[in-house]
Amino acid sequence: MTQKLSFGIAGVAGRMGRQLVSTALEAGHQVAGGTELPDSPDRETDIAVLAGRADPIGVMPCTDPVDAAADAQVWLDFTAPQATLAALHALRHTPVSAVVIGTTGFTAHQEAQIAAAGSEFAIVKAGNFSLGINLLTAMTRLVAARLGEDWDIEISETHHRHKVDAPSGTALMLGDAAAEGRGGKLEQLRSAPYDGASAEREPGKIGFAVRRAGGVVGDHDVSFASEQEVLTLGHRALDRAVFAQGALKAAEWAMTQPPGLYDMEDVLSLKDISV
Ligand code: NAD
């Protein structure tokens, strides 16, 4: 039987927040508290009811992560970069020892702040918590390592119309893996968007294409194209529950680890997959 944990969950009225509450309760874990913005219309609603469950659990959203995590072992955060960083700071004053971060859209400076917090918490941070996408990431690294620069790498993604950051955290994760396979860093290998009169593709660069449409949960493709053939690896998320289930798996794993910054490939032991 898996270990039963006590969670503090950020942004409990959000799409992922509701899903995390629902999946955690479904799995028999405890949700000790949750946060929302002060002006959220959902502040007066029990977080289990917000998550679509029939029975309330007597926990209302609060605004302070210290209150929400007062009885929590693990913090789950799928909100927005500033909110996640503020919570990481506040969690020092709570019993929380493990943090799962699904928020995307951090700047390089914010990423460095999260890495620093890895000295205090076991943090699992991933642009995507699904098994399929993490396998796709490992395969992307492997294929990129096998194919030379005459194969153009293009990553495309589609998400729902409410998504704020672009390209998606998952697309960037796939880009990092492709760059790593090529022995470089995405910062150097990322192509500028193709737009305008002089938008030619530079050899060896990794390109991104973004679409925002309706209610799409998340589609990602990685194409490797030579003059003669195209190899495309793709993934489609059908339900947000897949991210929440992955986040819970990450939480259980993080509880067994020393402080540090980890990703989902660590959780799933996919780092060993090599050419
Ligand atoms: P959303 O807008 O539906 O939910 C975010 C919630 O956070 C909102 O309810 C908002 O009010 C709340 N929030 C914002 N600031 C807050 C604060 N300071 N304190 C408390 N609550 C606060 O967005 P979403 O679709 O649930 O996505 C949230 C994040 O998770 C995004 O960055 C998205 O890209 C990411 N995401 C990651 C994965 C993954 O597998 N890593 C999967 C899906 C979404």
**125 and 32 housed in the same domain:** yes
- Average pLDDT score over residue span 217-238: 97
Q: What is the pLDDT of residue 274?
A: 61
Answer yes or no: is the C-beta of 43 below 6 A from any ligand 1 atom. Answer: no
Distance 12 CA to ligand 1 centre (A): 9
Answer yes or no: is the C-beta of 126 below 6 A from any ligand 1 atom. Answer: yes
- For residue 68, being part of any structural domain is answered with yes
Q: Whole-number mean pLDDT of the chain?
A: 96
Pocket test of ligand 1: the residue of 36, 79, 235 to mutate, having most ligand atoms within 8 Å of its CB, is 79
- For residue 53, being part of any structural domain is answered with yes
Catalytic (active site) residue 163: yes
Answer yes or no: is the C-beta of 80 below 6 A from any ligand 1 atom. Answer: yes
**40 and 102 housed in the same domain:** yes
Residue 275 banded pLDDT, cuts 50, 70, 90: low
- For residue 73, being part of any structural domain is answered with yes
Q: What is the pLDDT of residue 3?
A: 80
**116 and 155 housed in the same domain:** no
Catalytic (active site) residue 159: yes
**91 and 28 housed in the same domain:** yes
Nearest CA to ligand 1 atom 25: 15
Chain segment 62-80, per-residue pLDDT in tens: 999 999 999 999 999 999 9
DSSP for 185-245 reads: -HHHHBPPP--STT-PPPTT-EEEEEEE-TT---EEEEEEE-SS-EEEEEEE---THHHHH
For residue 214, give both structure tokens: 């309706």
- Average pLDDT score over residue span 8-25: 98
Q: How far is CA 140 from CA 61, 175, 233, 235, 264, in A?
A: 40, 9, 8, 12, 15
pTM metric for this prediction: 0.91
- For residue 37, being part of any structural domain is answered with yes
**121 and 141 housed in the same domain:** no
**186 and 251 housed in the same domain:** no
Provide Rg for the chain, Cα atoms: 19
The answer to whether residues 118 and 101 touch, using CB atoms and an 8 Å cutoff, is no
Chain segment 83-130, per-residue pLDDT in tens: 999 999 999 999 999 999 999 999 999 999 999 999 999 999 999 999
Among residues of the chain, what percentage have pLDDT more than 70? Answer: 99
**193 and 209 housed in the same domain:** yes
Chain segment 132-155, per-residue pLDDT in tens: 999 999 999 999 999 999 999 999
Distance 241 CA to ligand 1 centre (A): 14
Answer yes or no: is the C-beta of 167 below 6 A from any ligand 1 atom. Answer: no
Residue 53: pLDDT over 70 = yes
Catalytic residue among 29, 125, 159, 235: 159
Q: What is the pLDDT of residue 129?
A: 97
Phi/psi for 82 (5° steps) reads -60, -40
- For residue 186, being part of any structural domain is answered with yes
**156 and 245 housed in the same domain:** no
**36 and 108 housed in the same domain:** yes
Chain segment 154-184, per-residue pLDDT in tens: 999 999 999 999 999 999 999 999 999 999 9
State the closest ligand 1 atom to the C-alpha of 104, by its place in the atom list counted from 1.
32
**117 and 246 housed in the same domain:** yes
- Average pLDDT score over residue span 5-22: 98
The CATH number of whichever domain residue 191 belongs to comes to 3.30.360.10
- For residue 182, being part of any structural domain is answered with yes
Q: What is the pLDDT of residue 271?
A: 80
**210 and 97 housed in the same domain:** no
Give the Cα separation of 44 and 54 in Å (integer): 16
Answer yes or no: is the C-beta of 243 below 6 A from any ligand 1 atom. Answer: yes
Task: Give the residue numbers spanning the domain of 147.
Answer: 131-237
The CATH number of whichever domain residue 76 belongs to comes to 3.40.50.720
- For residue 1, being part of any structural domain is answered with no
Q: Per the structure, how many domains does the chain have? A: 2
**146 and 233 housed in the same domain:** yes
Answer yes or no: is the C-beta of 127 below 6 A from any ligand 1 atom. Answer: yes
